[in-house]
Amino acid sequence: MSIAIVTGSAGLIGSEASRHFASVGMDVVGVDNDMRKEFFGEEASTRWQQSKLQSELGERYSHQSMDIRDRGAIDSLFSRMADDIKLIVHTAAQPSHDWAARDPHMDFSVNANGTLNLLQATRQFCPEAVFIFTSTNKVYGDTPNRLPLVELEDRWEIDPSHTYVNGIREDMSIDQTMHSLFGASKVAADVLVQEYGRYFDMKTACFRGGCLTGPNHSGTQLHGFLAYLMKCAATGMPYTVFGYQGKQVRDNIHSNDLIQAFDHFYRNPRSAEVYNIGGSRFSNCSMKEAIRMCEEITGKQMNYEYKDDNRAGDHIWWVSDVSKFESHYPNWKLQHNVQSILQQIYDANAERWAAENK
């Protein structure tokens, strides 16, 4: 028996990982206690996704409403399955800059201590298992904002002569920069995952994602850029653009493209790897461009306002260079661009959103 443990299994990436690894014959143990509802309120609850997983995957999926901060519970879970555990996909997190500043202890305990609990349990009970961690580009803090940027009509762009013209590589420093408290807790987790790989020769990888998105995202104001934007566009809910004239750029990677990257790493793992992973030059947009696409898809004018104050530490321009991962796994290719992602989000959720807003 081959078991995949997926933390945050009812979230965007966790649910996609659960479906994928169940589809290739693994038994999936999902660990998710719907902390997203506690962080962001009822609209962000992932219970609907948990129910779908249990219905769709049947006996292939076992759900554990467990807190990753509970070391005893994590140890007990891992000890019961031990060597049958072949893969850990760790997606559970507190994912918001703003929320972290409100409760730094909670943020750090979830993001850093929770990751430590999972790493140590893996080391103790299934040291040959592959450990995949969904890190974040926020580990680089606001260093990207020091890049030479050029203001265009609808977006910021990097100087075309700069070495990062094809995207930001893993050689960017994570030191001497403002991360936000969320970024700091994710740095701690990221470095732990690397260190367990190097120090204990475990098969670990940090995937430093940009905007991770897709139709299964429970988007909310503080987290889930494209999903929440499309929800506002479809329902008429107000949306706020913070700073940079709405020209800030993000690359966006579809959850399925990310899971395919996870699968490639699982089948041919390495130790203590770090990968920038995102939509790259293939899939990126500014806020202004995203709003325009949402209006085209919904046929409605968005109800949004602009506030000149940007969020502290927020990136002006982020595009990932994914060439390192592509060099290690040349058969992996991005399949979904921003336009197709937004269309999928709308098609999958418009009916549910309309029902919620009656």
pTM for the model stands at 0.93
Question: In terms of C-beta density within 10 A (0-12 exposed, 13-18 middle, 19 or more buried), how is residue 328 classed?
Answer: middle
Q: What is the pLDDT of residues 71-100, one digit of tens each?
A: 999 999 999 999 999 999 999 998 887 788
Q: Which two tokens stand for residue 306?
A: 């602009």
> How far apart, in whole angstroms, are the C-alpha atoms of residue 318 and residue 320?
7
Average pLDDT over residues 345-356: 86
| Residue 93: per-residue pLDDT | 92
Supply φ then ψ for residue 111, to 5 degrees: -75, -40
| Identity of residue 26 | M
Give the number of other CB atoms < 10 A from CB of residue 38. 13
Range of the domain at 87: 3-356
Residue 224 binned pLDDT confidence (cut-offs 50, 70, 90): low
Residue 320 binned pLDDT confidence (cut-offs 50, 70, 90): very high
Average pLDDT over residues 204-217: 90
| Residue 49: per-residue pLDDT | 86
| Residue 154: per-residue pLDDT | 97
Percent of the chain with pLDDT over 90: 82
| Residue 337: per-residue pLDDT | 97
| Residue 311: per-residue pLDDT | 75
| Residue 39: per-residue pLDDT | 77
> How far apart, in whole angstroms, are the C-alpha atoms of residue 305 and residue 286?
16
Residue 190 has pLDDT above 90, yes or no: yes
Residue 269 has pLDDT above 60, yes or no: yes
Residue 222 has pLDDT above 60, yes or no: no
* Domains in the chain, number: 1
> How far apart, in whole angstroms, are the C-alpha atoms of residue 330 and residue 259?
15
Element (H, E) at 101: helix 97-102
Give me the CATH number covering residue 116: 3.40.50.720
How many Cα atoms within 13 Å fall on the side-chain side of residue 234? Answer: 25
Q: What is the pLDDT of residues 115-133, one digit of tens each?
A: 999 999 999 999 999 999 9
Answer for the pair 259, 292: CB distance below 8 angstroms, yes or no: no
Residue 274 has pLDDT above 80, yes or no: yes
Average pLDDT, the chain: 93
Q: Tell me the longest C-alpha to C-alpha distance in the chain.
A: 58
3-class secondary-structure state, position 123: helix
Average pLDDT over residues 141-169: 97
Q: Which two tokens stand for residue 268?
A: 């041919």
| Residue 217: per-residue pLDDT | 67
Residue 187 binned pLDDT confidence (cut-offs 50, 70, 90): very high
Average pLDDT over residues 195-209: 98
Question: In terms of C-beta density within 10 A (0-12 exposed, 13-18 middle, 19 or more buried), how is residue 59 classed?
Answer: exposed
Q: What is the pLDDT of residues 284-314, one digit of tens each?
A: 999 999 999 999 999 999 999 999 988 767 8
Residue among 183, 29, 20 at smallest CA distance from 99: 183
Residues in the chain: 358
Q: What is the pLDDT of residues 7-65, one digit of tens each?
A: 999 998 999 999 999 999 999 999 999 877 777 777 767 888 889 999 999 999 999 99
